[in-house]
Amino acid sequence: MNQDRQTPPGGESTQLPTLPEATVARLPEYLRALHSLADIGRDTVSSEDLAAAAGINAAKLRKDLSQLGSYGTRGVGYDVELLTSQISTVLGLAEHRAVALVGIGNLGHALAGYAGFGPRGFRIAALFDVDDSRLGETINGLLVRHVDDIAEVVATEGISIAMLTTPPHAAQPVADLLVNAGVTSILNFAPCVLSVPDGVDVRKVDLAIELQILSFHEHRKASARTGSSQYAPVKPVPAKKTAKKTATAKIDKSAKTQSPPKNVVPPPPGVTFSDSVVNE
Amino acid sequence: MNQDRQTPPGGESTQLPTLPEATVARLPEYLRALHSLADIGRDTVSSEDLAAAAGINAAKLRKDLSQLGSYGTRGVGYDVELLTSQISTVLGLAEHRAVALVGIGNLGHALAGYAGFGPRGFRIAALFDVDDSRLGETINGLLVRHVDDIAEVVATEGISIAMLTTPPHAAQPVADLLVNAGVTSILNFAPCVLSVPDGVDVRKVDLAIELQILSFHEHRKASARTGSSQYAPVKPVPAKKTAKKTATAKIDKSAKTQSPPKNVVPPPPGVTFSDSVVNE
């Protein structure tokens, strides 16, 4: 759920391997799986077992780890402790990172009290809000401070990562405050797009979007069962002057009213509208 | 953050378009952006403006929407209401979907009270826990019930989607209860991999993983600034019998102790270890 960026090509000035964003996103899954394996006393693990524990296919795992220079040993697999250490190092988890949390509403409150961050490399080091009723409250021994204190606290605590759980309208101004204070990574829970300068990384967690993606799959499965769908493809809208002669389809109003006829047949995959389409 | 699955090829028995998983994941972003545009009174929007509002590049947006049969009109762009309706329909949001929430701890409590689901197509319809201290509690007018009631309530409320916010050790048994009750989509917040039968979709939200990905970027940026990194690539481990003559490198213990020499140079991208590597 990154904001449409790729890990830029590195390698010139850094010793970190250049990794595709998708590989970076899977490394923490391997790490979590390795910790679970270590907890049950495993010293080595095959790529198949590690892949199963991480919920990722084995070929992809081997390719990912090969990019770190890790190949395992034939008949033995990967050394759990070594690989754990290596992935932790690549992810920059050798040090516990201090994280700020801005917006101590319902979700912020839950995150402030979440026990799962500590064991995985993060320490919530500062809480901020603007609401008088929240200021001065203490959560897990940490005082909720005013966002006006962000610059001071970020500097004092050495914070480079912030979680943003404000309402959407407040997210951009707060992000600006954080960036000006020196924060260079933001995990944004507000359902909006943040504008940040180069060098600042933003990842999004939008819980309603997660449900909407599952809703698509529910819709897909229901359609597959019944052989019908509420979906009616919208026919291309002809532009007034540039419409070609085949572009005579009208806008399918049925899609607009969400009660399309059941017998609308969508184009098969691979069929393009290129002849009848007026691209904007 | 899906569990390594692709939207399977459909189209034979469904009228829904076959869409890549990545496209499906972006549709809710377009939808959110369209709602924001409608809120400020926009009737039409160019692909560039919509892409900017969604935080996605315009070419990708045009390609995604073309897969729905939406192309916009030259010089006019997309009809906001029409496109909103179409994406909502594809996502199966024509009906408000009932969602169950299992695990009413810190995070579950926050999600049960989250106001952001309703406007985006979802109604929390049931809360479950096993903890006596939680049972009988009412959140937003909804009673916390025992997980033993899952089958009955899922049937009564017509629930097909569940959010799972239990501790990791409880996640799999609860997922089994949900699946047996007829739930076919699970949003899993527990840091573990769920095993589910075909036909059940699982998406994961692991907040520590999101932070770990940002940590990677912090590490990368710090390495780029200083030209050094704590990362030392692990040399391939030679297998006892099958090691080739070049596979004489020892395990780099420095990576294990996380204090590698600063002058370790990783292989440039494209260099493979194929000659010296013993794949497991």
- For residue B64, the domain's CATH number is 1.10.10.10
Rounded to whole angstroms, the Cα distance separating A14 from B230 reads 10
Residues of B in contact with A122 (CB under 8 A): 208, 211, 215
Cβ density class B100-133: b for 16+ within 10 Å, e for less: bbbbbbbbbbbbbbbebbeebbbebbbbbbbeee
Let me know if residue A233 belongs to a domain. yes
Rounded to whole angstroms, the Cα distance separating B165 from A98 reads 25
Q: How many domains does chain B have?
A: 3
Determine which of B215, B257, B273, B277 to mutate to test the interface with A (most A C-beta atoms within 10 Å). B215
Residue A274 is predicted with a pLDDT of 29
Report phi then psi at B229, rounded to 5.
-150, 155
- Across A129-154, average pLDDT: 95
**pLDDT for residue A258 is more than 60:** no
B176 close to B170: Cβ distance less than 8 angstroms: no
CA angle B78, B80, B82 (to 5 degrees): 90
- CA proximity to A254, closest of B15, B161, B221, B108: B15
- Across A213-242, average pLDDT: 69
Let me know if residue B3 belongs to a domain. no
The answer on whether A11 is annotated among ligand-binding residues is: no
- B60: helix, coil or strand? helix
Which among A28, A73, A277 has the least Cβ separation from residue B237?
A73
A101 plus A84 within the same structural domain: no
Residue A256 is predicted with a pLDDT of 35
Rounded to whole angstroms, the Cα distance separating B2 from A156 reads 38
* Cβ within 8 Å, pair B185-A14: no
Among chain A residues, CA nearest to B87: A231
Let me know if residue B82 belongs to a domain. yes
**pLDDT for residue A31 is more than 70:** yes
Report phi then psi at B123, rounded to 5.
-125, 120
* Cβ within 8 Å, pair A10-B220: yes
Rounded to whole angstroms, the Cα distance separating A113 from B129 reads 19
Residues of A in contact with B216 (CB under 8 A): 19, 24, 27, 90-92
Let me know if residue A114 belongs to a domain. yes
Stretches in chain B below the pLDDT threshold 70 = 1-15, 228-280
Angle between helices A21-39 and A80-90 (to 10 degrees): 140
List the beta strands (DSSP E) in chain B.
Answer: 44-45, 78-79, 97-102, 122-129, 138-139, 142-146, 161-164, 185-188, 201-204
Residue B9 is predicted with a pLDDT of 41
Q: Quote the DSSP letter at residue B117.
A: S
Determine which of A65, A234, A241, A244 to mutate to test the interface with B (most B C-beta atoms within 10 Å). A234
- Look up the domain containing A76 and give its range: 21-90
Question: pLDDT tens digits, residue range A76-86?
Answer: 899 999 999 99
Let me know if residue A213 belongs to a domain. no
The answer on whether B40 is annotated among ligand-binding residues is: no
The answer on whether A92 is annotated among ligand-binding residues is: no
Let me know if residue A57 belongs to a domain. yes
**pLDDT for residue A40 is more than 60:** yes
B101 plus B194 within the same structural domain: yes
Residue A269 is predicted with a pLDDT of 37
Task: State the count of interchain CB pairs (< 8 A) between A and B.
Answer: 421
Angle between helices A21-39 and B207-226 (to 10 degrees): 120
Residue B73 is predicted with a pLDDT of 85
B78 plus B136 within the same structural domain: no
Q: Which two tokens stand for residue B280?
A: 């497991």
- Across A233-261, average pLDDT: 39
**pLDDT for residue A4 is more than 70:** no
A233 plus A261 within the same structural domain: yes
- Nearest CA distance, A149 vs chain B (angstrom): 23
B184 plus B271 within the same structural domain: no
Let me know if residue B272 belongs to a domain. yes
- CB contact set of B38 (below 8 Å; sequence gap of 6+): B80, B81, B84
Beta bridge partners of A138: A143
List the beta strands (DSSP E) in B34-135.
Answer: 44-45, 78-79, 97-102, 122-129
Question: pLDDT tens digits, residue range A261-280?
Answer: 333 333 333 333 222 322 33
The DSSP result for chain A, as a single string, is -BSS--PPP--SS--SPP--HHHHHHHHHHHHHHHHHHHTT-SEE-HHHHHHHHTS-HHHHHHHHHTTT---BTTTBEEHHHHHHHHHHHTT-SSPEEEEEE--SHHHHHHHT-TTSGGGTEEEEEEEE--TTTTT-EETTEEEEEGGGHHHHHHHHT--EEEE-S-HHHHHHHHHHHHHHT--EEEE-SSSPPP--TT-EEEE--HHHHHHHHHHHHHHHHHHHHS--S--PPPPPPPTTT--TT--PPP-HHHHHT---TT--PPPTT---TTT----
B241 plus B194 within the same structural domain: no
- Nearest CA distance, A164 vs chain B (angstrom): 12
Residue B94 is predicted with a pLDDT of 84
Give me the residue label for tokens 């400020």.
B40
In this prediction the ipTM stands at: 0.76
- For residue A182, the domain's CATH number is 3.40.50.720
Question: pLDDT tens digits, residue range A150-206?
Answer: 999 999 999 999 999 999 999 999 999 999 999 999 999 999 999 999 999 999 999
B131 plus B189 within the same structural domain: yes
B136 plus B179 within the same structural domain: yes
A68 plus A102 within the same structural domain: no
Let me know if residue A82 belongs to a domain. yes
Rounded to whole angstroms, the Cα distance separating B220 from B229 reads 8
A42 plus A103 within the same structural domain: no
A126 close to A159: Cβ distance less than 8 angstroms: yes
Residue A174 is predicted with a pLDDT of 98
* Cβ within 8 Å, pair B187-A211: yes
B101 plus B200 within the same structural domain: yes
Q: CA separation (Å) from B52 to A41, A66, A121?
A: 49, 36, 33
A150 plus A77 within the same structural domain: no
